[in-house]
Amino acid sequence: MATGISFSVAATDGAARSGTIKTPRGEIRTPAFMPVGTAATVKAMLPESVRATGADILLGNTYHLMLRPTAERIAALGGLHRFMNWHRPILTDSGGFQVMSLASLRKLTEEGVRFSSHIDGSKHMLTPERSMEIQKLLGSDIVMAFDECPALPATDEAVAQSMRLSMRWAQRSRDAFGDRPGHALFGIMQGGVNRDLREESAKALASIDFDGYAVGGLAVGEGQEAMFSVLDYAPGFLPADKPRYLMGVGKPDDIVGAVERGIDMMDCVLPSRSGRTGQGWTPRGQINLRNARHRDDPRPLDESCTCPACANYSRAYLHHVVKADEIIGSMLLTWHNLHYYQSLMQGLRDAIAAQALADFVFRFHAMRLQGDIEPH
């Protein structure tokens, strides 16, 4: 690991692990869920509120920040932590996924990706070297190597070609990252749903020697069953003494299944995005507060939850502010969802430490099968 950053596994239960990533800006308890602060903000939340939910680390987005307000401007203002008032660890993605999914008129070459901004059409070039430069300007604690993420389904030939390009870019990312004490660089395994390609990718990354490893190229449309089948073997290809990060996942049942299979870190926009569309996540599943069944209900969204939305407001109130498009609806439901996700992570960590993960997972699924409480 890079100087000043270390990872230790405290307990295992089957393939699942609980542990700690230590950084100069604080410890990250694993398995960890990282709320997504795309443009230097977790939407509808204050940073101190995000911390109050139990989050140890946030994710920032290289693509969005390089376009607006620009990495150079953030650096001049003291770096991303100071800029957004979050003084704990930040992981930044490399920008590769967003270039593929958001940018228009993109052209992929061995050098990198030339693209037009989705904001104003301005022209940009993103390479492994430029991605490392941007993430250094931002000052993130965990930096992701620049990669290409092909959309699935794709032919094995196309996936292999893309993966090998990403491995060449991984070496260039490592070379450009250099020696940065207190900062870590993670490599990204690719290979689609092909076991041989995943193994080839993992070996290439391990030979470069990263501080942690991501399983990339999943949660891109292949479905949960295919994702889990890859996770049944892919984490085992990666060095056991380094953190394993599953990018862009996910729903609570995706998270539980990933942790069972040896994943240490995850991120997803789902809890915050759901909160802005009137959706609340609870142990009983997803609840749509727009539904008329809630309009006269004085009960909290989840009686077992201690977040402000559940402690102080009724389902009837949440239904009202969501239907009226009041900003507080997004604020309360996002806070609740992030609180639920972090409570789920704490439950997983405790279960692994107690060698009781199977029982935890059984109860997790049994509760979801019950569905929402009966209407009031």
At 150-196, the pLDDT tens digits run 777 889 999 999 999 999 999 999 999 999 999 999 999 999 999 99
CB atoms within 10 A of CB 91: 24
At 72-85, the pLDDT tens digits run 999 999 999 999 99
pLDDT at 2: 53
On average, the pLDDT of the chain sits at 96
CA distance 52 to 31: 18
With left for phi above 0 and alpha for psi between -120 and 50, is residue 70 left, alpha or beta? Answer: left
Which residue type is seen at 270? L
Instruction: Give catalytic residues, as residue numbers.
Output: 93, 267
Percent of the chain residues past pLDDT 70, beyond the cut: 99
Between 149 and 21, where is the model more confident?
A: 21
**Residue 3: pLDDT band with limits 50, 70, 90:** low
Radius of gyration of the chain (CA): 20
At 338-368, the pLDDT tens digits run 999 999 999 999 999 999 999 999 999 999 9
CA distance 58 to 43: 12
Compute the Cα dihedral for 213, 59, 131, 6 and give only its sign: negative
State which H helix or E strand residue 58 sits in: strand 58-61
Averaged pLDDT, 108-123: 92
CA distance 140 to 294: 42
CA distance 285 to 357: 20
Six-digit token string for 363? 């109860």
pLDDT at 152: 74
Helix axes 156-177, 128-138, angle to 10 degrees: 50
pTM of the model: 0.97
Between 149 and 329, where is the model more confident?
A: 329
Q: What are phi and psi of 348, to 5 degrees?
A: -65, -45
Residue 64 has pLDDT above 70, yes or no: yes
